[in-house]
C-alpha cells in the first residue's frame, strides 16, 4: 500500500487515504463560488413551462381592453331600470345583440336594451347588464322585454383593465413558469419569453461490475441503480441529461467522458482512493480537484472540481452515498445554473424523534427516517449500499457537524423526499 502523503506534485491520489476531509460548508463555499450567471434563451410559450424567467414581464396592454359583460343578459342604461320589480315591470325595447368578438355597433339609450353574452363588449351608452333571469319576454311583441328588477351602474360589467392594467409587472425575473403563467402571458400577446438556458449534464456511470439498467444482473454483476436515479434527479432540477451508457473503470474511457461537451459532469463510482478509483487523479491532472474527501456520512469520498468550463462532481458508487452527495452538491449546482432556487426542493416538517441519533463532532450526518403521525423513526440500517433504505424512508434528518446528535424525544426537521 502506498500511503505516501508527501509525494508533492504527484497527482495520483490513489491509495493514500484521505489525509484531510473538507467540511461540508467549505465544499459548498467552493461550489457556490463556481456558479456563473446562466445564459438566456428565447423560447416559445409552449416550451416554457417550468423554465425560469430571466427578465420581468410588464404588460403593455389592458386586459380586458374594453368593458364587457360578466353575465348573459341585457345591456342597459342602469338608470332606466330604476324602480323595476316583479310588480312594477318596466318595458325595454331590444335593439340588437352583442356577442364576444362581435359587438353591437351604435349607441343605446334609456329604455333600450341589447341582448349580450358573457365576455361580449358593452355597447356605447350602457353601464350595466340585466341578467337573463331578471327579465321576462313579452310574448306579444318580441323585441320588447320587461325588467323585473333594477340594476345599479357597473353591475355585471367587467371594466377595461380589470384583469391587468397596462404597465403592471406581471411576472418577475426568477419565476419558474407555471401553466397558468403561460395563459396570462398569452393574454397580453406574448409568444416568446426569455428563460435561463438549461445546464447540460453528462452522466459518467462507472463500474466494471455493472450491467445497464433494464438488464437482469447475473452472477457477480450488479445492475446500475445510479444511472436512472441520477437521470431523474437531474431532470427534476432542470438539467438536460446526456447518458450514452456505462463507462468501464479505465483511464482512457473515463478521461474521454470527463471531456465531453457539458456544463456539468457527474461521475458515479470510483470517486475514492482505491486502485480502481481513477477519476479523482484524472480531474487533478487535467483540471482542478478542489475538494476530495468531505466530513460527512454517507458520501465522504466525494470530489468536486473543474475541467475547463465544466463543473465536475465525483460521487461515490454506493447508491445511498450517491444520492446524498447529489443532494448536497450536484443538485444545488444544477438548480443554480438553470436559474432555479439552489435550496433543496424538499419540504421540511417538524417531528419528534422516537430514538436518539448520534454522530461524532466534526462530521455531518444524513440520517434516513420514517415519519409516522408526527413521530420520526430513524431507519437503523447504516450501510450506504442499502438503497432501499431511501425508498422506505420518508425523508432525512441532518445532524450538523458541530452536533453530537439528537436525544430521543427531541423535535427535529425532517426533509421530505419529493
Ligand atoms: P465505488 O464507489 O465505485 O467504489 O462503488 C461502491 C459500491 O457501490 C460498490 O459495491 C459498487 O458495486 C456499488 N456501485 C457502484 N456503482 C453503482 C451503480 N451505478 N449502481 C449500483 N451500485 C453501484
Ligand atoms: Mg466502482
Report the pLDDT value the prediction gives residue 15, as an integer from 0 to 100.
Answer: 54
Predicted pLDDT of residue 8: 37
pLDDT in tens, 190-214: 999 999 999 999 999 999 999 999 9
Please indicate whether residue 227 or residue 383 has the higher confidence score (pLDDT). 227
Q: What confidence tier does 143 reach under pLDDT thresholds 50, 70, 90?
A: confident
E-strand spans in 198-302?
200-205, 210-211, 222-223, 240-242, 264-268, 288-292, 296-297
Residue-wise pLDDT for 353-388, tens only, equals 999 999 999 999 999 999 999 999 999 766 667 888
380 CA → ligand 2 middle, Å: 25
**Cβ 118 vs Cβ 73: under 8 Å:** no
User: Predicted confidence band at 7 (pLDDT cuts at 50, 70, 90)?
Assistant: very low
* 300 in Cβ contact with 314 (< 8 Å): no
pLDDT digit string (tens) for 292-340?
999 999 999 999 999 999 999 999 999 999 999 999 999 999 999 999 9
The pLDDT score that the predictor gives to residue 19 is 83
Q: What does the DSSP assignment read for 158-180?
A: EPTTSSB-TT-EEE-TTPBPPHH
Question: Residue 138 CB: number of other CB atoms within 10 A?
Answer: 14
User: Could you tell me if the CB of 138 is within 6 A of ligand 1?
Assistant: no
Digit-coded pLDDT (tens) for 243-252: 999 999 999 9
pLDDT reading at 349 higher than 70? yes
Q: Whose CA is nearest to atom 15 of ligand 1?
A: 317
CA distance 411 to 375: 9
Mean pLDDT, to the nearest integer, of 65-80? 97
390 has a pLDDT exceeding 90: no
Task: Indicate whether residue 209 lines ligand 1 (CB < 6 A).
Answer: yes
Residue 140 confidence (pLDDT): 59
Task: Report the mean per-residue pLDDT for the chain.
Answer: 93
Q: Where are the beta strands (DSSP E) in 36-176?
A: 40-44, 57-58, 68-69, 73-76, 90-98, 112-116, 128-131, 135-137, 144-147, 157-158, 169-171
Residue 265 has pLDDT above 70, yes or no: yes
Mean pLDDT score, 111-135:
96
Tens digits of per-residue pLDDT, 84-103?
999 999 999 999 999 999 99
pLDDT of 386 reads 81
Place of cell 466525494: 302
Q: DSSP alpha helices (H): ranges in 91-225?
A: 179-187
pLDDT at 122: 98
pTM of the entire structure?
0.87
> Who has greater pLDDT, 1 or 393?
393
**Among residues 127, 119, 124, which one has the least CA distance to residue 155?**
127
Q: How far are the Cα atoms of 63, 94, 204, 392 from residue 102, in angstroms, in the given order?
A: 17, 17, 60, 60
Q: Which of 15, 206, 207 to mutate to test the pocket of ligand 1 (most atoms within 8 A of CB)?
A: 207
Sign of torsion, CA 403 300 302 321?
A: negative
Mean pLDDT of the 127-149 span: 87
CA distances, 344 to each of 315, 336, 363 (Å): 18, 11, 20
Index of the ligand 1 atom closest to the CA of residue 385:
8
Q: Is residue 60 predicted with pLDDT exceeding 60?
A: yes
Nearest CA to ligand 1 atom 10: 318
223 lines ligand 1 (CB under 6 A): no
Find the 337 Cα to ligand 2 centroid distance in Å.
28
Find out whether 302 and 325 touch, Cβ atoms under 8 Å. Answer: yes
Ligand 1 center from residue 385 Cα (angstroms): 8
Angle at 312 between CA 308 and CA 316, to 5 degrees: 155
Q: Which residue is closest in CA terms to ligand 1's atom 5?
A: 317
Is the CB of 315 inside a 6 Å radius of any atom of ligand 1? no
Amino acid at each position: 500500500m502506498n500511503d505516501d502523503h508527501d509525494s508533492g506534485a504527484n497527482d495520483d491520489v490513489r491509495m493514500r487515504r484521505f489525509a484531510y476531509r473538507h467540511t461540508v460548508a467549505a465544499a459548498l463555499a467552493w461550489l457556490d463560488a463556481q456558479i456563473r450567471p446562466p445564459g438566456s434563451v428565447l423560447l416559445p410559450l409552449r416550451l416554457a413551462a417550468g423554465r425560469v424567467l430571466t427578465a420581468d414581464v410588464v404588460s403593455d396592454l389592458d386586459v380586458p381592453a374594453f368593458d364587457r359583460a360578466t353575465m348573459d343578459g341585457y345591456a342597459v342604461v342602469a338608470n332606466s331600470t330604476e324602480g323595476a320589480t316583479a310588480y312594477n315591470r318596466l318595458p325595454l325595447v331590444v335593439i340588437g345583440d352583442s356577442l364576444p368578438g362581435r359587438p353591437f355597433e351604435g349607441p343605446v339609450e334609456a329604455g333600450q336594451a341589447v341582448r349580450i353574452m358573457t365576455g361580449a363588449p358593452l355597447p356605447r351608452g350602457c353601464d350595466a347588464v340585466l341578467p337573463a333571469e331578471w327579465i321576462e319576454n313579452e310574448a306579444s311583441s318580441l323585441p320588447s322585454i320587461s325588467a323585473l328588477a333594477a340594476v345599479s351602474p357597473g353591475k355585471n360589467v367587467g371594466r377595461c383593465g380589470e384583469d391587468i392594467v397596462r404597465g403592471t409587472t406581471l411576472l418577475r425575473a426568477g419565476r419558474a413558469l407555471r401553466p397558468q403563467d403561460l395563459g396570462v402571458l398569452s393574454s397580453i400577446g406574448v409568444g416568446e419569453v426569455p428563460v435561463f438556458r438549461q445546464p447540460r449534464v453528462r452522466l459518467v456511470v462507472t463500474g466494471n461490475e455493472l450491467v445497464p439498467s433494464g438488464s437482469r444482473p447475473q452472477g457477480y454483476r450488479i445492475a446500475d441503480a445510479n444511472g436512472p436515479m441520477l437521470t431523474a434527479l437531474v431532470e427534476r432540477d432542470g438539467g438536460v441529461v446526456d447518458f450514452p451508457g456505462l463507462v468501464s473503470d479505465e483511464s482512457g474511457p473515463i478521461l474521454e467522458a470527463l471531456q465531453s461537451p457539458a456544463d456539468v459532469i457527474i461521475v458515479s463510482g470510483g470517486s475514492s482512493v482505491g486502485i480502481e478509483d481513477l477519476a479523482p487523479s484524472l480531474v487533478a491532472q487535467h483540471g482542478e480537484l478542489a475538494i476530495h474527501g468531505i466530513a460527512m456520512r454517507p458520501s465522504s469520498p466525494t470530489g468536486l472540481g473543474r475541467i475547463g468550463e465544466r463543473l465536475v462532481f465525483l460521487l461515490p458508487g454506493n447508491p445511498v452515498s450517491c444520492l446524498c452527495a447529489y443532494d448536497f452538491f450536484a443538485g444545488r449546482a444544477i438548480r443554480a445554473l438553470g436559474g432555479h432556487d439552489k435550496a433543496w426542493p424538499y419540504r421540511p416538517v417538524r417531528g419528534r424523534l422516537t430514538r436518539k441519533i448520534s454522530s461524532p463532532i466534526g462530521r455531518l450526518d444524513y440520517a434516513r427516517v420514517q415519519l409516522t403521525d408526527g413521530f420520526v423513526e430513524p431507519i437503523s440500517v447504516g450501510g450506504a449500499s442499502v438503497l432501499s433504505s431511501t425508498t422506505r424512508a420518508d425523508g432525512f434528518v441532518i445532524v450538523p457537524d458541530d452536533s453530537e446528535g439528537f436525544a430521543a424525544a427531541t423535535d427535529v426537521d425532517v426533509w421530505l423526499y419529493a
